[in-house]
Structure 1
Amino acid sequence: MSNTDVVAEVRSGTKRYPGVTALSDVDFSVRRGEVRALLGKNGAGKSTLIKILSGAEQLDAGEALVQGTSLKGLGTREVAGLGVATVYQELSLVPEMSVAENLFMGAWQRSRGVIDKRRMRADAKAAMARIGVDLDIDRSVGSLGAAGQQLVEIARAVWQKPALLILDEPTSSLAAAEVRQVIDVARRVAEQGVAVVYVSHRMDEIRQVADSATVVRDGRIVETLPVRTASTREIVAMMLGAAPEAVAARVRRPSSEPPVLTARGLRSDKLDGLDIDIRPGEILGIAGVLGSGRTETLRALVGLDRPDSGEVRLRGEAVRPGAFTAMLRGGLGITPENRRRDGIVPLMGVDENIVMGDLRGVSRSGVLDRKAVGQAAQALIDRLAIKTARPGTPIGNLSGGNQQKVVLARWLHAGSTVLLLDEPTRGVDVEAKRQIYDQMRRLADEGRAVVFVSSEAEELADVCDRIVVVRGGRAVAELSGDEIQLERVLTIAIAEE
């Protein structure tokens, strides 16, 4: 392709924030019809580069251009007018509104001052057809699954007929079956001549969707390379700045201890007679596609949801269904699937988020002891290598991986002996994932029971001592030792009923 095919570029771009250089002398360009993956750890500079290209931020030095026009002094609205559309990880939909209404929110077609619903519905059908997706445009967005909502966001962006489409972690909340839909849409859009910048931590996904990948580290472009010929090890080495340590042969340690937590015959809207045993001293993985009942299993075990029937026993004693407080006192802790919505209080400090699971140990006569709070938090910040300027820093300022470690620290502070981790590595970078894996292993070695739910079967196969595969709300298989093979886990998870 010639230079005339370049849709967006940054030339010698530098962006500084107080105390940090987010981008340093960056040269970047993407061409018409190309899907360019953007790879790097959290904090590497990916988000800043996206903000520069979308007009949300301005360079301190260098130049950014879209279709030959400089972005200097332009905001997001003006840059959108140049043909840039961005779909962020956090969706911006209104759940109560229909698909059609969300597609044209803020730009509803009008006739004589009144919203033209007939035209809006016709355009909504055309918008979905453009990305090759068949969704009921009259259905409320809130009734769609995560994949459907993500596709509505993409359709809204594509309807603007962009020259550059930026997709920021578009599949972070999706399971494997749903990821394929987003990949197909991204490829379809590129075939229409749109340049696509695609951010994701999932290497298998990147290989399916991208033509090339730009690796960013510490605010600099390390290299741009074709993804189909580069090994994952090479790319990880570029992201980390050094070749990753050789991974020792996985030693699986299924526990022979009596179960600390058992469930028999759990039934609800999403569970269909589920049975499970959780033993101390091991990492138990729960595998299954989105909607299989993984999250519902954890919520029923910890008492957040009350099953219609079935029994849960903690250390051999029957527990009243839905007894969340009693389960917490009995040593259970849970990291929720959506950590930002359900797991943290963004404006509160890291220290406060850590100790909120058990205030008794840091209180004197019913009043919080600030010194005790600081000491308790600092010990766990050190243990989990949480990167924060100080314990009192608002947790909302931390990267996703560090927020996740704070949520885990909360239950360590509370003394939890059974840890239910729902997608703890979602949306975090390679380094943070490895640190979370190490902490899970350490907790199991200390004799705690660790339950690990993940949409990525690869990491379950790498990390777990035992895996239970859930399908249709039932535990359909249990694998341990040499039985744990990626292909086998996936085959069981996606098999037809």
Structure 2
Amino acid sequence: MSASTEQPEIIAQAIGVTRSYPGVIALDNVDFEVGRGEVRALLGQNGAGKSTLIRLLSGVDVPSSGTILIAGTDLGSEGVHGAADRGVATCYQELSLVADLTVAENFFLGKWPRGRFGIDTKAMATRAAEALASLGATIDPNAITGTLTLAQQQIVEIARALQDDPKLLILDEPTSALASAEVALVLETVRRVAAKGVAVIYVSHRMDEIRQIAASATVMRNGKVVKTLSLGESDTATIIRLMIGTDPENQRPQAVDHEPGPVVLEARELAIPPKVTDVSFQLRAGEILGLAGLLGSGRTELLRAIAGFERLGGGDILVDGETIAPVTPRRMRRAGIAMTPEDRKREGALMNLGIDENIVMSDYRSVSRSGVLSVSLMRDASEALARRLSIKAHDLAQPISTMSGGNQQKAVIARWLHADADILLLDEPTRGVDVEAKAQIYAIMRAVADEGKAVVFVSSELEELPLCCDRVLVLRDGSIQREFVAPHITLSDLLEASMASHSTQEAS
């Protein structure tokens, strides 16, 4: 984006803002501003204070001290409605859509357009379709939202945030579930919105994406603003050092020289219609096997089929040389296979239960005495795994929903370590987590492999795979197209192999 010699009008501003909660200072004397037509990246680890700042600017929360100004007016304690009236729209990473309602109904929750005979459903559908069309989306406004893919739901969320022409648009990880063509569409939409004079705060962990859309970035750490810098004048290593307070090279897992063990899992000519047509591979003990491919290539379907959650259209799955038939979740669990799903909020954790309860629920027998759940055994087991996986929490009995995304993900992985699973299938375990949490998850995978277990790692961020995988298989056009073996795994090779046939592939 071209620099301007004139300072743009300030749309949103935080002046000396502090926000304290019992035992925690979430924001510490923060100054922040974003101008009209500017796209400002907001960077930092989970727990750095980004979410709290967003909540204050959105009116969801109020400062303990300091001032929030929107278009020069003190937001005070007017709350969400006051922020919305002043032109603030926020699109959060965790979707807020109601699965059982239509797309159009989700657009107009709490503000139903009315006609002569009640709610004007036709007007709702028309206006929702127009908002989606502005993003280039062809999603049916009358479709039940829960039947859409995660990527489609994210687009609905973004379109809904844009429909009232806001002065300030806050996007929290808006593309984390999107395919490459959809990402480009969202970025172009953000550019168009900014060109109209809307101020945009853009939160993402993807540096390549941030550099495409933002000219400047504000880096936060431990509740403070560390620095606001020009992205054109700052390399990624410098930005990561500001985010984590150390050199990014120190976050890379140490290479381990080891020979893989025997084959523990084998897939033979697997078919999972309509995406997967013929997949065969072997997984060995002590190995981290990466699975690459564009969103929509069938990676998730393949993992779910191996775990027994997706019906096979053909082929065989062997565990320790024995064919498992029929393939069901119960049989695969007994065979030592466990899976962490992509959507941890809806499928990976029971959000209202305690962290400790989520960790031990995979094996209650080991924390019970005479068939009765033991609070002390549950506490000891969960505390041991929390220490091992660096899970940060004041009290493991607190609901898992109160934790950052990275700590939630580590708790979900801890559940299957508690169950002593031999094969871990990890679907996007680093999605939406910060740099430090990613490094910790990489280290967890390596430690599990070093114990003689095996890991299958799926990630949409291809640059992760060379950091921690012993082998990477590239899934494209329904089958495994390429195999790369460490240390000869490069991002350029993975990108080329993944995008060879469908460089503009979209999620279905």
Instruction: Tell me which interval the TM-score lies in, with the shorter structure as reference length.
Output: over 0.9
User: Could you tell which deviates more after superposition, 133-142 or 215-224?
Assistant: 133-142
The structure 2 residue matched to 1:17, chosen from 1, 9, 21, is 21
1:125 Cα deviation from its structure 2 partner: 4.0
The structure 1 residue matched to 2:64, chosen from 60, 64, 75, is 60
The structure 2 residue matched to 1:490, chosen from 471, 490, 495, is 495
1:65 Cα deviation from its structure 2 partner: 0.6
Contact 1:422–1:452 under 8 Å retained in 2: yes
Q: Secondary structure at the match of 1:228?
A: helix
Alignment match, 1:215: 219
Residue 78 to residue 288, structure 1, CA distance change in 2 (3 Å): same
User: Could you tell which deviates more after superposition, 266-275 or 34-43?
Assistant: 266-275
Counterpart amino acid of 2:432? G
Alignment match, 1:84: 88
Distance in 2 between residues matched to 1:451 and 1:351, nearest whole Å: 25
1:483 Cα deviation from its structure 2 partner: 4.0
Distance in 1 between residues matched to 2:334 and 2:147, nearest whole Å: 35
User: Could you tell which deviates more after superposition, 281-290 or 227-236?
Assistant: 227-236
Show the 5 A alignment for 1:379-458: 379-458=384-463
Alignment match, 1:45: 49
Alignment match, 2:296: 291
Show the 5 A alignment for 1:76-225: 76-225=80-229
User: Could you tell which deviates more after superposition, 93-102 or 333-342?
Assistant: 93-102
Counterpart amino acid of 1:297? L
Distance in 2 between residues matched to 1:394 and 1:94, nearest whole Å: 22
1:175 Cα deviation from its structure 2 partner: 3.9
Contact 1:417–1:449 under 8 Å retained in 2: yes
Residue 91 to residue 246, structure 1, CA distance change in 2 (3 Å): closer
Contact 1:255–1:280 under 8 Å retained in 2: no
Counterpart amino acid of 1:178? E
Contact 1:132–1:185 under 8 Å retained in 2: no
1:338 correspondence with 2:343? yes
Q: Secondary structure at the match of 2:232?
A: coil
Counterpart amino acid of 2:70? V
1:254 Cα deviation from its structure 2 partner: 7.9
Q: Secondary structure at the match of 1:427?
A: coil
1:476 correspondence with 2:481? yes
Residue 110 to residue 272, structure 1, CA distance change in 2 (3 Å): same
Residue 416 to residue 15, structure 1, CA distance change in 2 (3 Å): same
Alignment match, 2:505: none
Residue 120 to residue 482, structure 1, CA distance change in 2 (3 Å): same
The structure 2 residue matched to 1:354, chosen from 351, 356, 359, is 359
1:306 Cα deviation from its structure 2 partner: 2.6
Residue 198 to residue 256, structure 1, CA distance change in 2 (3 Å): same
Residue 298 to residue 128, structure 1, CA distance change in 2 (3 Å): closer
Distance in 1 between residues matched to 2:186 and 2:322, nearest whole Å: 46
Distance in 2 between residues matched to 1:356 and 1:463, nearest whole Å: 28
Q: Secondary structure at the match of 2:248?
A: coil
The structure 1 residue matched to 2:264, chosen from 260, 270, 273, is 260
Q: Secondary structure at the match of 2:263?
A: coil
TM-score by length of 1: 0.94
Counterpart amino acid of 2:90? T
Q: Secondary structure at the match of 1:378?
A: helix
Distance in 2 between residues matched to 1:487 and 1:329, nearest whole Å: 39
The structure 2 residue matched to 1:324, chosen from 325, 329, 336, is 329
1:121 Cα deviation from its structure 2 partner: 4.1
Counterpart amino acid of 1:208? Q
Contact 2:354–2:400 under 8 Å retained in 1: yes
Contact 1:252–1:464 under 8 Å retained in 2: no
Distance in 1 between residues matched to 2:495 and 2:342, nearest whole Å: 21
Distance in 2 between residues matched to 1:85 and 1:254, nearest whole Å: 51
Contact 2:136–2:185 under 8 Å retained in 1: no
Counterpart amino acid of 2:392? K
Counterpart amino acid of 1:203? M
Identity %: 51
Distance in 1 between residues matched to 2:13 and 2:207, nearest whole Å: 24
Distance in 2 between residues matched to 1:476 and 1:271, nearest whole Å: 12
Counterpart amino acid of 2:78? L
Contact 1:15–1:24 under 8 Å retained in 2: yes
| Cα-to-partner distance string for 1:177-236 (whole Å, 9 max, x where unaligned) | 432222222122111211110111111111111121100111111111122321111111
User: Could you tell which deviates more after superposition, 167-176 or 197-206?
Assistant: 167-176
Distance in 2 between residues matched to 1:448 and 1:59, nearest whole Å: 48
1:27 correspondence with 2:27? no
User: Could you tell which deviates more after superposition, 357-366 or 76-85?
Assistant: 357-366
1:307 Cα deviation from its structure 2 partner: 0.5
| Cα-to-partner distance string for 1:361-412 (whole Å, 9 max, x where unaligned) | 2222211222222222221111111111133222222111111111111111
Q: Secondary structure at the match of 1:65?
A: strand
Contact 1:351–1:391 under 8 Å retained in 2: yes
Counterpart amino acid of 1:478? E
1:482 Cα deviation from its structure 2 partner: 4.8
1:466 correspondence with 2:466? no
User: Could you tell which deviates more after superposition, 54-63 or 109-118?
Assistant: 109-118
User: Could you tell which deviates more after superposition, 186-195 or 322-331?
Assistant: 322-331
Residue 125 to residue 266, structure 1, CA distance change in 2 (3 Å): same
1:108 Cα deviation from its structure 2 partner: 3.2
1:262 Cα deviation from its structure 2 partner: 0.4
Counterpart amino acid of 2:360? V
User: Could you tell which deviates more after superposition, 277-286 or 370-379?
Assistant: 370-379
1:104 Cα deviation from its structure 2 partner: 3.0
Residue 117 to residue 304, structure 1, CA distance change in 2 (3 Å): closer
The structure 1 residue matched to 2:239, chosen from 235, 238, 242, is 235
1:246 Cα deviation from its structure 2 partner: 4.4
1:44 Cα deviation from its structure 2 partner: 0.7
Contact 1:255–1:279 under 8 Å retained in 2: no
Distance in 1 between residues matched to 2:136 and 2:297, nearest whole Å: 26
Counterpart amino acid of 1:212? S
1:278 Cα deviation from its structure 2 partner: 0.8
